[in-house]
Amino acid sequence: MKYIDEYRDKELVGKLIDQIKKVSKKSIALMEVCGGHTMSIQKFGIPILLPDTIKLISGPGCPVCVSDRKYIDQAIAYARIEDVIITTYGDLIRVPGSTSSLDQEKAKGVDVRIVYSILDALKIAKDNGDKKIVFLGIGFETTAPSSAAGIIKAQMAGIRNFYLFSSHKIMPPAMEALIDEGVKLDGYIAPGHVSTITGIGIYENIPKKFGLGCVISGFEPVDLLKAILMLVIQIENSDQKVENAYTRVVKPEGNIKAQQMLDEVFELRDDWWRGLGVLPKSGLKIREKYNDFDAETQIPVQVEPTREDKGCICGEILKGLKNPKDCGLFAKVCTPSNPVGACMVSHEGSCHAYYKYNRD
């Protein structure tokens, strides 16, 4: 398969591994921020190929995992309103709220529909003029532009029964907060899709303020190993900086059009992250001028008190302080069919990735 096989080439992978082994002297811990990276690393079985000097830690880059349980509770509360249809990406549907999940509510008869794009949600709004359509906007800089585009499109088309419930967040504050929290890290494998939108400038603070290297990576084995090699070279030479190992997709300036849309629709707000608490200016709130499309201001709702599960260490795992296998619930009480925490539900969650590919 073109554009895939080249990046899964066994010989090339072997060469990269040899080079990494040759260069790597210091024992280091690298964090893959993005959940997609975690999944690829486990799926391709990369850790076993790396020398003992390199430890990979999963980071907070799974949007479903870092979202507040209160967000799910509120989505469920919207779903229970008679004339509301919830539209969502599939990942969110099985995430446990305090006492229920969207999946369980769906089984009880509320209208929850999985969509592949916000445009499908707009179509549902158009076809159901007497209902309120709430789209669960979740994700980082990668998916937030499509939510912005959806709102702009709804306004242009005069669709008045469409609402976004935003949990969108941006990546850099979490990356900085982790270092502030004292997580022992030597460098970041920076997210490829986020960077496609934002460009590479957003990571400048990381080497400047914290002295850590940051290499943007794609999602295939060759991409990841190239990024790891570049980080190892930076660290061995004490030359920490932002570098791009995903140049075939990520442009230095990013996607300007998407950035403009983001800025048009959203403004920054303080937001809560699982494991990290409230991080200043880390969430995306709908701007006043698009208030008519903001579920939070337009659809009043009573939300049940949030209850966190005891024993779930998702927060520590998201910070990279613990590994899924350190959790007492992992693979015993908490499994993909009976998830306790969001990290076990989302396909990008570290617990899910470890359960699926690295459980032994």
Partner 1 sequence: MLNIILDEQTDAAVLEINSNKLSFTTDSFVVDPIFFPGGDIGKLAIAGTVNDVAVSGAKPKYLSTSFIIEEGFPFKDLEIIVKSMAEEVKKAGIIIVTGDTKVVNRGKCDKVFINTTGVGELPQKYSDIGTGKSIKPGDKIIINGTIADHGMCIMAAREEITFTTDIKSDCACLNHLIKDALNVSDQIKFMRDATRGGLATVLCELAERKNFGIEINEDALPINENVRGMCELLGFDPLYVANEGKVLIVVGKEDAENVLTALKENELGKEAAIIGEVVGEHQGKAWLTTGIGGRRIIDMLAGEQLPRIC
Which residues make up the interface to partner 1 (CB under 8 A)? 1, 4, 8-10, 13-14, 42-49, 94, 116, 120, 221, 335-337, 347, 355-360
Angle, to 10 degrees, between the axis of helix 144-156 and the axis of helix 118-127? 30
CB 319 within 8 A of CB 275: yes
Distance (Å, whole) CA 238 – CA 301: 53
Q: Tell me the closest approach of the beta carbon of residue 1 to partner 1, in angstroms.
A: 6
Helix/strand/coil percentages in the chain, nearest 5: 45, 20, 35
Q: Tell me the closest approach of the beta carbon of residue 35 to partner 1, in angstroms.
A: 12
Q: Tell me the closest approach of the beta carbon of residue 5 to partner 1, in angstroms.
A: 9
Rank residues 259 and 358 by Cβ distance to partner 1 and give the closer one: 358
Strands of 213-216's sheet, edge to edge? 54-61, 28-34, 187-190, 213-216, 242-244
Q: Tell me the closest approach of the beta carbon of residue 12 to partner 1, in angstroms.
A: 9
Q: Tell me the closest approach of the beta carbon of residue 335 to partner 1, in angstroms.
A: 7
Distance (Å, whole) CA 50 – CA 334: 29
Rank residues 113 and 241 by Cβ distance to partner 1 and give the closer one: 113
Rank residues 212 and 312 by Cβ distance to partner 1 and give the closer one: 312
**What does the angle CA 351 – CA 357 – CA 359 come to, to the nearest 5 degrees?**
70
Rank residues 111 and 271 by Cβ distance to partner 1 and give the closer one: 111
**What does the angle CA 49 – CA 51 – CA 52 come to, to the nearest 5 degrees?**
120
Question: Quick one: tokens of 5?
Answer: 């096989």
Rank residues 10 and 248 by Cβ distance to partner 1 and give the closer one: 10
What is the DSSP secondary structure assignment for residue 169, as one 8-state letter? Answer: B
Rank residues 46 and 79 by Cβ distance to partner 1 and give the closer one: 46
Q: Tell me the closest approach of the beta carbon of residue 170 to partner 1, in angstroms.
A: 24
Distance (Å, whole) CA 47 – CA 39: 12
